[in-house]
Amino acid sequence: MKRLHYVNLIGVLALVVLCVAQWRHDRQLNLEINRLEKARLDLEGRLVEQERDARGLKADLLEFKDSLTTTQAGLNETQAKLLTAERQLRQVAAERDQLRATLTNWATAVEVRDRHLEQANNRIRELADELNASIIRFNELATNYNAVVKDLNELRERAKPPP
């Protein structure tokens, strides 16, 4: 009989081990089921959210198409204005180049004029120096003439018979 108790004990222990193993397995499956259900609910919520987002994106797409049409019209207008501005820019650039050439010619003419003025000033200084030298010689001549006249007058006074 003791053997039977041991066999029973071993059988009970085997059942306990089997029950614990089954309980663990079932618990794992239950946790997995709960996790999958939560994931399903999350995915379902995301699906609803994505459908709502898709409707919003569809509305945005229609708005974007309208905006693109408006932008395209604005772009065409801007391109026309750009072509006009480029034409004006080329014209202004040509005028600028012409003005630069004119300015260069003018600067050259001013330089030539300045050289001529400098030469004229030098010539005027030379003439003024010559004039001053001539005036000094004239003044010396006049002083000498006056001295000669004075001497002549004195000689005439001496040569006059006394009255």
| Inside any domain, residue 79 | yes
- Regions of the chain short of the pLDDT cut 50: none
| Inside any domain, residue 21 | yes
| Inside any domain, residue 41 | yes
| Inside any domain, residue 138 | no
> What does residue 160 show for φ and ψ, rounded to 5 degrees?
-75, 135
What percent of the chain has pLDDT above 70? Answer: 99
pLDDT at 6: 85
pLDDT at 163: 64
The total domain count for the chain is 1
What is the value of pTM for the model shown?
A: 0.39
* CA–CA separation, 148 and 4 (whole Å): 185
| Inside any domain, residue 48 | yes
| Inside any domain, residue 148 | no
* CA–CA separation, 108 and 21 (whole Å): 110
pLDDT by residue (tens digit) across 113-140? 999 999 999 999 999 999 999 999 999 9
| Inside any domain, residue 158 | no
pLDDT at 142: 92
pLDDT at 150: 93
* Dihedral sign of CA atoms 137, 141, 147, 148 in order: positive
Domain that holds residue 93: 1-130
pLDDT at 89: 95
| Inside any domain, residue 105 | yes
